Structure 1
Amino acid sequence: MMQQYDKMILAILQGDDYHDAVHSLNEHGFYATVLNSSGGFLKKRSVTLMIGLESARLDEALAILKKHGERTEMRYEAPVLSPNMPPIPLSTAPLEIPTRCGGVVLFVLDVAQSARY
């Protein structure tokens, strides 16, 4: 018997983030068509996932995308010095700053009809 999809998720993720998301979706029985895309402020590489599914499983798929759509990377910056601070050695190590990266933009569409031939 053929599955009837009544929802479609279009999810746009950064190119570095989509591998784990697709893997996790597949492990949970969701399948995605991957489209290479670009956009955003810096025109960075991104990926658009097209995921057909039954509305009863929508929350499950959205939770997976949310989990894998964002990550934290360490960014390194030199310490900020103020004029009132005592001088510090030039060998002072940069500060590690956790920075949120990635994210997912998604659209949930109603599907009037789906077929597989």
Structure 2
Amino acid sequence: MKLVLAIISEVDKNKLNLALIENGISATIIYSTGGLLNRGTVSFMIGVEDERVDEVIDLIKKNVSERKEVSKSTLPPALQSLFFVSKQKIEQGGAVIFVLDIENFLKV
């Protein structure tokens, strides 16, 4: 048994969740905020048999997209005029995936 922990952008949550449901894979979703742009992220906790891990990873790859977003300055507007503030395109999206061995899995 494995635990697949996938951290993705909240933008991709519904698409991935639907794909998992359609393939008979249940998941627990945990909401969080993080990353360079402090955007919403979600963590999917997916318990699956060893032989389904590759299937789950493929579903994640197919249903999570990467995109470029412009970073915003954290300086107040009054200070932005005093300093050179450049906007940068930062890659967002995609997924960070961990696959962990599970010693015991119970549904009660």
Structure 2 portions without partners, runs of 5+: 71-90
Cα distance in 2 for partners of 1:19, 1:26 equals: 10
Q: Structure 2 counterpart of 1:22, which letter? A: N
Amino acid at match of 1:41: L
- Number of equivalences: 88
* 1:56-67 pair list within 5 angstroms: 56-67=51-62
**How many Å apart are 1:65 and its aligned residue?**
0.2
Cα root mean square deviation, aligned:
1.9
Secondary structure, aligned partner of 2:11: coil
- Correspondence for 2:107: 116
1:30 corresponding residue in structure 2: 25
Taking the aligned partners of 2:23 and 2:105, their CA distance within structure 1 comes to 21
Q: Which residue in the other structure is 2:34 paired with?
A: 39
For 2:56 and 2:66, the matched residues in 1 are separated by 18
Q: Percent identity?
A: 36
Q: TM-score, normalised by structure 1?
A: 0.69
Mind listing any 5+ residue stretches in structure 1 that lack a counterpart? 1-5, 76-99
- Higher helix fraction: Structure 1 or Structure 2? 2
Rg comparison, structure with higher value: 1
Aligned partners of 1:25, 1:101: CA distance in 2, in Å?
A: 22
- Distance across 2 between alignment mates of 1:113 and 1:64: 24
Structure 1 stretches of 4+ moved >2 Å: none
Give the match's secondary structure for 1:20: helix
Q: Which whole-Å CA distance do the structure 1 matches of 2:32 and 2:38 have between them?
A: 9
